[in-house]
Structure 1
Amino acid sequence: MADFDKLGHLYDETFRLPWRRHLEVPTVLDLLGDLTQTSVLDLGSGSGWYCTTLVGQGAQRVVGLDVSSGMVEYARRHHSHPRIDYLLGDLPAELHGHFGTVLSVHVFGYATTREHLDGLFRTAAGALRPGGRLLALGLHPDHHDHPDFYAPYGFRIHPPQTRSDGSQATLEIRFNHHDAALPLTYWSHETLATSLRSAGFAELTNPDYHLDEHGPQVLGTEFWHDYLAKPHAIILDCRLATPE
């Protein structure tokens, strides 16, 4: 994941974009609810922005896990907290079955093979206690196919030539002085559901996004219509099955 080693600042800056501030973040935090006395794994924690936010939601302990050394170093410098540990690489064995919640935001789209995708969800499952919850966001199988559709929100999606599992799309981030292109892998609804089930998850739902109270006030209702109709990221909400 060397492509991400120098992107910590860019990742932090994206949280200033209206769609993250007024749609993604409020939706994620509302879905997670009160995390008091809960241990949370941020799987693919990036810059660490969500880790500090999870502490603000009351999480007793947060572990940020990422495969990019640059991201982990950035997070340790800019988003440190006594209740947060940032780890590089694989989840240590002593943390298997430790967490009540796993959050994974815009990560599974970077799984380039089915084996990689299955491994990511198995990592999430292995981290959770029975009945624990996974909330994951990633490239929506039904995202709009015109690259400029999402341009008002600060990015473009160049879709794969054919929407088949494992095909490559491109996320182009352009706002202020930032200009970056990142590869994303397309996964169908069916494959995502099958991969989650094979990892041991059940009760899969796809919650809708909702605007916070400031979104319409800042940019008007019409600004949000297109994204709400065709979000570029799907929300996967599921629980680890409990042994019978």
Structure 2
Amino acid sequence: MTDAADGRAAHPAHDDLQYDRIGGDYELSKLLPLTRFVERPSVLDLLADVRGRSVLDLACGTGVYSRHARRLGARRVLGVDISPKMVEVGRAAEEREALGVEYAVGDGTELPRLGDFDVLLAAYLFNYADSPETMGLMARSCARNLREGGELRALVAHPDYDFARPLPQRYGFSFEQAEDPAHDGRIRVTAHTRPPVSFTAYLPSGRVYEEAFTAAGFRDCAWSPVRLATEGVLEFGPEYWDDFTANPPWVLFRCVKGAGDSRG
């Protein structure tokens, strides 16, 4: 496989290469309360049954969950990200601990067919869709890389997040609406690491997701809540999490590639 998943340099739809500036600092966000006790257990739930299956981790970042998928017994894992720096960090981790994870640079809006995967994991990918058209491109890229009956499993920013009730920074993250005359729903996410890490994304509606994936040949689109791990409640106490449970910033989105689809 070439360094780029499409055989050429990926080009971002907006400032996707903001992650090249973040690089390995992004991994520090995985130590924050919200990632430790909500994101991590929720994504691991999405990977709970991958033993013996092939997994495409699209928008893999530094490969944290790609590595988890292999540890959980996935027979093949390919991590793809638009940021060469993020992929470089993932490959360095593979050199330190060889798990058999493959990595490639690629753009989720125009990914070629890389294989017939059983599971496509997408953590935060779809929050870089700055329009329904971009979401449609991403949905078709996903369809192109799943076998019939293969499953898309995604962690996304909650379309109904209430910015009037912001999360306390004690959870480690803040989410703010960003001014952008060209795009509705642009947001700024800050992980309050040392130093803080910030990036911009978008907040598509639930309807945009469902219409795009249905048009790309998916069925059984469903939403479910993220999971707060019992360990987080034990460590901080139940009241600590009241603001999170009242206004969760993330939600899970799933669907299945329908039989007979040829639109990928």
User: TM-score with structure 1 length normalisation?
Assistant: 0.90
Give, in whole Å, the separation in 2 of the partners of 1:74 and 1:28: 20
Q: How does 1:46-195 map to 2 (within 5 A)?
A: 46-80=61-95, 81-90=98-107, 91-93=111-113, 95-96=114-115, 98-146=116-164, 148-159=166-177, 166-175=184-193, 177-195=194-212
Q: How many residue pairs get matched?
A: 240
SS in 1 for 2:200: strand
| Residues 1:7 and 2:22 are matched in the alignment | yes
Give, in whole Å, the separation in 2 of the partners of 1:147 and 1:26: 24
> What does the per-residue CA deviation read over 1:17-58, in whole Å, with 9 as the maximum and x for residues that have no partner?
122111221122223322111000000010111111111111
Contact 2:177 2:185 in 1 (8 A): no
Relative to structure 1, is the Cα distance of residues 4 and 147 closer, same or farther in structure 2, using a 3 angstrom cutoff?
farther
Give, in whole Å, the separation in 2 of the partners of 1:160 and 1:142: 16
Contact 1:43 1:103 in 2 (8 A): yes
- 1:137 offset after TM fit, Å? 1.5
The correspondence for 2:216, drawn from 199, 204, 214, is: 199
> What does the per-residue CA deviation read over 1:99-155, in whole Å, with 9 as the maximum and x for residues that have no partner?
000001011111223222211121111110001101112221111213742422112
Give, in whole Å, the separation in 2 of the partners of 1:29 and 1:187: 24
> Which runs of no fewer than 5 residues in structure 2 stay unpaired?
1-15
User: TM-score with structure 2 length normalisation?
Assistant: 0.84
What is the root-mean-square deviation of aligned Cα atoms in Å? Answer: 2.2
Aligned to 2:40: 25
Contact 2:66 2:77 in 1 (8 A): yes
- 1:234 offset after TM fit, Å? 2.1
Give, in whole Å, the separation in 2 of the partners of 1:104 and 1:205: 15
Relative to structure 1, is the Cα distance of residues 204 and 211 closer, same or farther in structure 2, using a 3 angstrom cutoff?
same
- 1:191 offset after TM fit, Å? 1.0
Give, in whole Å, the separation in 2 of the partners of 1:28 and 1:213: 15
Relative to structure 1, is the Cα distance of residues 205 and 165 closer, same or farther in structure 2, using a 3 angstrom cutoff?
farther
Relative to structure 1, is the Cα distance of residues 20 and 192 closer, same or farther in structure 2, using a 3 angstrom cutoff?
same
Contact 1:44 1:105 in 2 (8 A): yes
Contact 1:44 1:107 in 2 (8 A): yes
- 1:82 offset after TM fit, Å? 4.2
